[in-house]
């Protein structure tokens, strides 16, 4: 059931060093890369149907094309600000196979005619950032990067200062420019992101790390995995009340329950499954009853009222308190709201404070109504999707587990 494309080298000892990486096929895609024109590479990515793996799932090829067509100095920015609770896949790539990421960056830069790339690494990922920096240094030595390379690419690591919102691409770029990490107003027509006014491609670590396979083996080889609309694989992470928590790569479209049973080793201590938060903290929770036919792809999870997100599943067993679980998530949103838009700044803090009343079993019927109306105000009225995500989380818990909240009402 496990399919290894991105995670192929993860279990090889010292896979982060150049020597081992070269032995195991890293940088071998560069030969086929430079045989093709940049536009051909973009076409290949489009045909492969590669989707962004940071949570949104937008088609990567289209994004590349827009950046490529825009006049100006181009930048490629790798989003390694992985801070969503329940999501811990990118850190595996950074620490276990950084050369795969570098190889992907070279291909991406070549395709969109960029010579400069930044990797925005989450501030707390200090040790992974060090591993990555060592790998970049090695790549410079071996002339895969820098002036001596066949195609010149310079990579700079920028470490964030610990804000979840800087994983939002426009906030990430604001932060990279040296400003506060506040998301920007969304454009009215399709356009790239801009770094100091220049067209910029922002892609997740795993998206870029999937590129070398596609360049080397072609679009069809990638499409051989996954489903029609969600081709390829994803590094699914599984955590919570599960026997074998971890990151395991699988094809899109595998059954969620199979994944939990066969790869995750089933719910811990033989307990019954109560609910799954399917794709990182910001996707609505799904009760076990809805999961019978659930598949791990974008379309299937959308059809049952949630989202695939980053593919980081959080497993809750029969003993889990849903009120406590929601409180845990809302404390996170309260803490991480950037504070720019009113509905988010005030809404996340208010709903978090209301949950305190539920936890203390001192809530009233009115509190439940307020929670619902605050959630409504947070949805679709802000610059970025942070508040709508928080709103979706609240709605998910109240829709499926209202009874537990009613128990806390005096």
Partner 1 sequence: MKIIIDNTEIECQEGDLLIDVMLKNSVKIPHFCYQEDLGANGNCRMCMVEIKGAKRPQIACDTFVCENLEVSTKSQNITEVKRSILELELLNHPVDCPICDQAGECKLQDYYMDYGLYDSHQNTPKTKKGKHIDLGSNVMLDQERCVLCTRCVRFTSNITKTGELGIIGRGDSARVAVAPGRELNNPYAMNVVELCPVGALTSKDFRFAQRVWFLDSTKSICHGCSRGCNIHIDYNETKYSDEKVHRFRSRRNNSINKSFLCDYGRLSYKELNNTYSGEVSKVEDLKQLLDVDKKLALASPSLSYQQLEAIKEFCQNKNIELFSLAYIDNSFGDNWLKTNDMSANFASVKELSINTNESEFLKSFENATLVINFDHKKLSDMELTNKKVVEFTSSQIKSSSELIFSFANFAHESGTLINCDGIKQQFFASKYKDKHPRLIEILEEL
Could you tell me the smallest distance in angstroms from the CB atom of residue 161 to partner 1?
11
Please identify which residue in 302, 342, 399, 407 interacts with partner 1, judged by CB under 8 A: 342
Could you tell me the smallest distance in angstroms from the CB atom of residue 352 to partner 1?
9
Q: How far is Cα 306 from Cα 286, in angstroms, rounded to an integer?
A: 7
Could you tell me the smallest distance in angstroms from the CB atom of residue 31 to partner 1?
47
Could you tell me the smallest distance in angstroms from the CB atom of residue 123 to partner 1?
14
Which CB sits closer to partner 1, 353 or 361? 353
- The residue count for binding partner 1 (CB under 8 A) is 36
Q: Tell me if 335 contacts partner 1 by CB under 8 A.
A: yes
Which CB sits closer to partner 1, 152 or 381? 381
Which CB sits closer to partner 1, 24 or 349? 349
In this structure, what token pair is assigned to residue 62? Answer: 């289209």
Give me the torsion for CA of 149, 154, 155, 161, rounded to 10°. 170
Q: How far is Cα 27 from Cα 23, in angstroms, rounded to an integer?
A: 10
In this structure, what token pair is assigned to residue 174? Answer: 């604001």
Contacting partner 1 within 176-215 (CB under 8 A): 180, 185, 188
> Would you tell me how many other CB atoms lie within 10 Å of the CB of residue 4?
13
Could you tell me the smallest distance in angstroms from the CB atom of residue 337 to partner 1?
4
Q: Tell me if 373 contacts partner 1 by CB under 8 A.
A: yes
Where b means 16+ CB within 10 Å and e means fewer, 120-152 reads bbbebbeebbebbbebbebbbeeebbeeebebe
Which CB sits closer to partner 1, 13 or 185? 185
Which x/- pattern over 287-326 shows residues binding partner 1 (rule: CB under 8 A)? ----------------------------------------
Pick from 287, 253, 332, 268: nearest CA to 86: 332
The residues with which 314 forms a beta bridge, in sequence order, are 239, 277
SS3 240: strand
Please identify which residue in 338, 368, 385, 389 interacts with partner 1, judged by CB under 8 A: 338
Angstrom CA distances, 258 to 118, 253, 266, stand at 38, 11, 9
Contacting partner 1 within 56-115 (CB under 8 A): none
Which CB sits closer to partner 1, 4 or 180? 180
Q: How far is Cα 163 from Cα 347, in angstroms, rounded to an integer?
A: 18
Angstrom CA distances, 97 to 59, 82, 84, stand at 24, 16, 21
Q: Tell me if 372 contacts partner 1 by CB under 8 A.
A: no
Using CB under 8 A, list all residues that contact partner 1. 163, 180, 185, 188, 334-343, 345-350, 353-354, 356-357, 364, 366-367, 370, 373-374, 376-377, 380-383
């Amino acid at each position: 059931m496990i399919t290894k494309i991105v995670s192929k080298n993860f279990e090889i000892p010292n896979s982060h060093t150049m020597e081992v990486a070269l032995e195991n096929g890293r940088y071998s895609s560069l030969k086929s890369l430079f045989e093709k024109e940049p536009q051909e590479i973009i076409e290949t990515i489009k045909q492969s149907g590669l989707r962004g793996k940071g949570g949104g799932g937008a088609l990567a090829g289209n994004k590349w094309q827009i950046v490529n067509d825009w006049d100006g100095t181009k930048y490629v920015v790798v989003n390694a600000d992985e801070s969503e609770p329940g999501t811990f896949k990118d850190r595996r790539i950074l620490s276990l196979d950084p050369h795969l990421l570098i190889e992907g960056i070279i291909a991406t830069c070549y395709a969109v005619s960029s010579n400069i790339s930044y990797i925005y690494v989450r501030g707390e990922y200090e040790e992974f950032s060090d591993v990555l920096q060592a790998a970049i240094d090695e790549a410079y030595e071996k002339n895969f990067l820098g002036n001596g390379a066949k195609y010149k690419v310079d990579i700079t690591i920028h470490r964030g200062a610990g804000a979840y919102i800087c994983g939002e691409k426009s906030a990430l770029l604001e932060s990279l420019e040296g400003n506060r990490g506040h998301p920007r107003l969304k454009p009215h027509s399709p356009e790239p992101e801009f770094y100091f006014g220049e067209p910029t491609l922002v892609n997740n670590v795993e998206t870029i790390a999937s590129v070398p396979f596609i360049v080397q083996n072609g679009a069809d080889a990638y499409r051989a995995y996954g489903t029609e609309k969600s081709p390829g694989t994803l590094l699914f992470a599984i955590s919570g009340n599960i026997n074998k928590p971890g990151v395991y790569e699988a094809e899109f479209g595998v059954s969620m329950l199979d994944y939990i049973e066969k790869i995750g080793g089933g719910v811990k201590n033989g307990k019954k499954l109560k609910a799954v938060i399917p794709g990182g903290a910001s996707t609505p929770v799904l009760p076990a009853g809805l999961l019978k036919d659930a598949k791990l792809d974008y379309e299937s999870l959308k059809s049952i009222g949630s989202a695939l997100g980053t593919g980081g599943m959080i497993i809750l067993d029969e003993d889990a308190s849903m009120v406590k679980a929601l409180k845990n998530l809302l404390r996170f949103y309260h803490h991480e709201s950037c504070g720019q838009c009113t509905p988010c700044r005030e809404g996340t803090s208010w709903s978090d404070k209301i949950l305190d009343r539920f936890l203390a079993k001192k809530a009233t019927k009115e509190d439940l109504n307020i929670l619902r109306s605050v959630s409504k105000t947070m949805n679709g009225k802000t610059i970025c999707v942070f508040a709508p995500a928080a709103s979706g989380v609240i709605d998910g818990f109240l829709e499926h587990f209202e009874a537990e909240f009613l128990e806390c009402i005096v």
